[in-house]
């Protein structure tokens, strides 16, 4: 039977890889229901035509004429504006890939969750910003939530086989491009340096998060909500080869791991096909050519973002949401070359310290309006701190 697929964030890295898997599948395997993009109107139109999408949504209204002109004469329905992303997520689909970057993906992903089908979660910010609310919606609607981040997908695969007797979850991190740098060297890091990830091909924002280790911090919070484990039960280790994607240690001392080439098409294919497995066009591991698998403790002095994320998780309440919002603004400022690399984590910590004194900080927001209000306050506070640095 043909599986209806929607891709939220189809012009990004995860979205393009999802469409790549669809394009290689036998005819009739998939039908593309909806595609969305933020600003990439031309690419969205090309995808919509190539995959015969039923509906497309573009968040940036200033690019709407480009999209409409490109799709003139087709039967593809078009939606414009942020609310159109929610409409796209509400289109009937058997599987929705939720790959809109950042907090902007929260409302569309929740709309997909409320359809009660299968959702591939590539947007970790949904759980970081609104973990309690988001997981409550998943449970309420009987949605099957399939993690797409390689680390969480690895743990999901292990726990599906053996979910009992867990001692701890172990998330692996590549360490980013600066894992061997000293704190002094990090002061001179440029935008170009930080975007040059040694293993993974990713978008700009997630590449910077990987360089600061904030990405692993966000994944730590995501893992806590996904697998219902406290911070104390989740460890992070640096594994430069990125062959072992994560591990689960059991109370008898056994450790089960998921291995594979560092290619996002593997976890994407797993999520799309679950509970079956589908073909993915990835390089197969040749164990005779693996010279070494090494592991290190993360350096929390040089990379304080991971510490900040763990502290935010343990503080609970609004702290994870504030952490994420402040980080998005700080990374944006770094990419615009307004602040230095080492100032990204400093800004995040300053915002957390400032807002930790605000009323209700320790209480989790349980409505979308409250979650978005906290997000807006944290962004405003981050902007104020950045202005003071200029």
Residue 219 assigned to a binding site: yes
41 burial class (0-12, 13-18, 19+ CB within 10 angstroms)? Answer: buried
| Residues 69, 49: Cα–Cα separation, whole Å | 13
Residue 203 assigned to a binding site: yes
Residue 125 assigned to a binding site: yes
Residue 10 assigned to a binding site: no
Ramachandran area for residue 164 (φ above 0: left; ψ -120 to 50: alpha; else beta) = beta
Residue 354 assigned to a binding site: no
Rounded alpha-carbon distances, angstroms, from residue 321 to 96, 146, 230, 352: 24, 22, 17, 10
Token pair in block for residue 360: 């209700």
Token pair in block for residue 19: 């469409």
Residue 73 assigned to a binding site: no
Residue 155 assigned to a binding site: no
Do the beta carbons of residue 146 and residue 152 sit within 8 Å? Answer: no
Residue 139 assigned to a binding site: no
Residue 283 assigned to a binding site: no
Residue 215 assigned to a binding site: yes
Residue 210 assigned to a binding site: yes
Residue 61 assigned to a binding site: no
Half-sphere exposure of residue 166: CA atoms within 13 angstroms, side-chain side: 23
Residue 151 assigned to a binding site: yes
Rounded alpha-carbon distances, angstroms, from residue 183 to 14, 49, 248, 300, 301: 32, 49, 31, 11, 8
By C-alpha distance, which of 132, 133, 136, 108 is closest to 121? 108
Residue 197 assigned to a binding site: yes
Do the beta carbons of residue 128 and residue 151 sit within 8 Å? Answer: no
Residue 175 assigned to a binding site: no
| Residues 235, 297: Cα–Cα separation, whole Å | 10
Q: What residues form the annotated binding site for NADPH?
A: 11-14, 123, 125, 203
Q: What residues form the annotated binding site for 1-deoxy-D-xylulose 5-phosphate?
A: 124, 150-151, 174, 197, 210, 215-216, 219
Q: What residues form the annotated binding site?
A: 11-14, 123-125, 149-151, 174, 197, 203, 210, 215-216, 219
Q: What residues form the annotated binding site for Mn(2+)?
A: 149, 151, 219
């Amino acid at each position: 039977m043909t599986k209806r697929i929607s891709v939220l964030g189809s012009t990004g890295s995860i979205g393009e890889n999802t469409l790549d898997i669809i394009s290689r599948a036998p005819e009739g395997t998939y039908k593309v229901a909806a595609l969305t993009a933020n600003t990439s109107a031309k690419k969205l139109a090309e995808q919509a035509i190539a995959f015969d999408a039923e509906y497309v949504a573009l968040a940036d209204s200033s690019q709407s004429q480009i999209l409409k002109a490109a799709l003139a004469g087709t039967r593809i329905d078009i939606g414009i504006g942020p609310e159109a992303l929610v409409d796209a997520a509400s289109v009937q689909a058997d599987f929705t890939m939720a790959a809109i970057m950042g907090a902007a993906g929260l409302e569309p992903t929740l709309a997909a969750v409320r359809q009660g089908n299968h959702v591939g979660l590539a947007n970790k910010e949904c759980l970081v910003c609104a973990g309690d609310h988001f997981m409550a919606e998943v449970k309420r609607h009987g949605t099957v939530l399939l993690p797409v981040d390689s680390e969480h997908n690895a743990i999901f695969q292990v726990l599906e086989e053996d979910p009992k007797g867990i001692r701890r979850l172990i998330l692996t991190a590549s360490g980013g491009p600066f894992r061997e740098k000293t704190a002094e060297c990090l002061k001179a890091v440029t935008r170009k340096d930080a975007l040059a990830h040694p293993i993974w091909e990713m978008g700009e924002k997630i590449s910077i998060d990987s360089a600061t280790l904030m990405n692993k911090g966000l994944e730590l919070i995501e893992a806590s909500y996904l697998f219902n484990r406290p911070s104390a039960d989740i460890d992070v280790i640096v594994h430069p080869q990125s062959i072992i994607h994560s591990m689960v240690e059991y109370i008898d001392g056994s450790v089960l791991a998921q291995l594979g080439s560092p290619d996002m098409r593997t976890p994407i294919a797993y999520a799309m096909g679950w509970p079956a497995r589908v073909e993915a066009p990835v390089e197969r591991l040749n164990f005779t050519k693996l010279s070494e698998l090494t592991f290190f403790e993360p350096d929390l002095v040089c990379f304080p973002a991971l510490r900040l994320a763990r502290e935010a998780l343990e503080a609970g309440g609004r702290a994870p949401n504030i952490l994420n919002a402040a980080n998005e603004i700080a990374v944006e400022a770094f990419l615009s070359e307004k602040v230095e690399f080492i100032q990204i984590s400093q800004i995040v910590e300053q915002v957390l310290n400032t807002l930790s004194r605000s009323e209700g900080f320790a209480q989790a927001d349980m409505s979308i309006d409250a979650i978005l209000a906290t997000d807006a306050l944290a962004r405003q506070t981050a902007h104020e701190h950045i202005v003071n640095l200029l």
